[in-house]
Homo-oligomer: A and B are copies of this chain.
Amino acid sequence: MTYCVAMHLADGMVFISDSRTNAGIDQISTFRKLFIFSTPGERLIVLQTAGNLATSQSVVNLLKQRCSGPGPHLLNVRTLYDATVLVAETVREVVARDRTKLAGKTDLSCSFLVGGQIAEGAMDVYSIYPQGNFIQATEDTPFLQLGESKYGRPILDRNLTYRTSLEEGLRCGLISFDSTMRSNLSVGMPLDLLVFRKDSFASAKSYRITADDPYFMRIRMQWAAGLQDMLAALPEPPDAYMSGGCQ
Interface positions, chain A 220-247, Cβ under 8 Å from B, are 222-224, 226-228, 230-238, 240-247
Residues of B within 8 A of A226 (CB): 226, 230, 233
Q: Is the Cβ of B171 less than 8 Å from the Cβ of A231? A: yes
Query: Using Cβ atoms and an 8 Å threshold, which residues of chain B touch A182?
Result: 154, 157-158
In the assembly, what is the distance between CA of A166 and CA of B238, in Å?
13
Determine the distance from Cα of A224 to Cα of B157 in the docked complex, in whole angstroms.
11
Residues from chain B with Cβ under 8 Å of A159 in the complex: 227-228, 231
A204 at the interface (CB under 8 A from B): yes
Chain B's closest residue to A150 (CB) is B150
Residues from chain B with a CB closer than 8 A to the CB of A209 are 241
Please tell me if the beta carbons of B237 and A215 are within 8 angstroms of each other in the complex: yes
What are 16 A-B pairs with beta-carbon distances under 8 A? A151-B153, A154-B180, A158-B227, A159-B227, A159-B231, A168-B231, A170-B237, A195-B243, A195-B244, A203-B243, A207-B244, A208-B246, A219-B234, A219-B235, A222-B230, A227-B230
Is the CB of A193 closer than 8 A to any CB of chain B?
A: yes
Decide: A179 near B154, CB < 8 A? Known: A193-B241, A234-B223, A237-B171: yes
Q: B241 contacts A170, CB within 8 Å? A: yes
Q: What is the oligomeric copy number?
A: 2
Q: Count chain A residues whose beta carbon lies closer than 8 angstroms to a beta carbon of B.
A: 58
Complex CA distance for A202 and B242, rounded to whole angstroms = 11
Q: Is the CB of A207 within 8 A of B155?
A: no
Indicate if A183 sits at the interface (CB-CB under 8 A): yes
Q: What is the CA–CA distance of A246 and B167 in the complex, to the nearest angstrom?
A: 19
- A206 interface hit (Cβ, 8 Å): yes
The reply on A101 being an interface residue by CB < 8 A is no
Is A62 in contact with chain B by the CB < 8 A criterion? no
Q: How close is A40's CB to chain B, nearest CB, in angstroms?
A: 12
Q: Is A175 positioned at the interface, with any CB of B under 8 Å from its CB?
A: yes
Residue contact A207 to B157, C-beta cutoff 8 Å: no
